[in-house]
Amino acid sequence: MEHVFRERITTEEQLEALRPVLGGAPSKLVMDKVIHALDAHGKAFIAKAPFIAVATADAEGHCDVSPRGDAPGFVHVLDDRHLFIPERLGNRRMDTIHNIIANPHIGLIFIIPGLEETFRVNGKACVTRDPELLKLTAVNGREPLIGIGVEVEECFMHCAKAFKRSGLWKPDSWLPEGDRPSPAQMLAAHVKGKIELTADQVDQMLEESYTKWLY
């Protein structure tokens, strides 16, 4: 990879030397926005968020980001310092769960459709089968088998620049359906030589899982 990425920045000193051209030091507002427990505003944001991105890493530092989504408020605020995320049915790889067992550090981004600012929470996580929490997060009479407990260490708002640049919530910026990548074609190509499936077969499998195995 050396021939691909040139003029790498590998020290804090090199980075600090670039500060003037990167816009200077962060503002006092940006530096002071971090809080170390959930206040009423953070709790209200989480209660309205139907989607989060979950960042974890294994013991060797190999990183992973995984989406989680459900009805708004599916992440339960237990108190100012603790959250519970029910683990719904998925692809059974359990990448996030394996990572948490090996390395408890976790990062979350809470996203509310239509709102360009996001809310970030960093902390430590555990995998739990707490019966009260599993019962609390049942859907259609089905309790999750496990969940993720999060101890909040810091949380803060993140500005809207990424969403404004991408136009994420603007329907006129979305690709027409015919121009979008085909998940079925991608999966069929990625398993070729190991599992022989056509894109149509993969598409049928995906649709079945989306209709029968959400909870």
Query: What pLDDT sits at residue 100?
Result: 99
The tens-digit pLDDT sequence of the chain (215 residues) is 557 888 999 999 999 999 998 888 889 999 999 999 999 999 999 999 999 999 999 999 999 999 999 999 999 999 999 999 999 988 889 999 999 999 999 999 999 999 999 999 999 999 999 999 999 999 999 999 999 999 999 999 999 999 999 999 999 999 999 999 999 999 999 999 999 999 999 999 999 999 988 88
Three-state SS letters, the chain: CCCCCCCCCCCHHHHHHCCCCCCCCCCHHHHHCCECCCCHHHHHHHHHCCEEEEEEECCCCCEEEEEEECCCCCCEEEECCEEEEECCCCCCCCHHHHHHHHCCEEEEEEECCCCCCEEEEEEEEEEECCHHHHHHCCECCECCCCEEEEEEEEEEEECCHHHHHHCCCCHHHCCCHHHCCCHHHHHHHHCCCCCCCCHHHHHHHHHHHHHHCCC
Query: Please, what CATH class does the domain formed by 26-166 belong to?
Result: mainly beta
Query: What pLDDT sits at residue 2?
Result: 57
Q: Is the pTM of this model over 0.85?
A: yes
Domain boundaries, the chain: 26-166, 175-212
Query: What pLDDT sits at residue 24?
Result: 86
Query: What pLDDT sits at residue 120?
Result: 99
pLDDT per residue over 71-108, tens digit each? 999 999 999 999 999 999 888 899 999 999 999 999 99
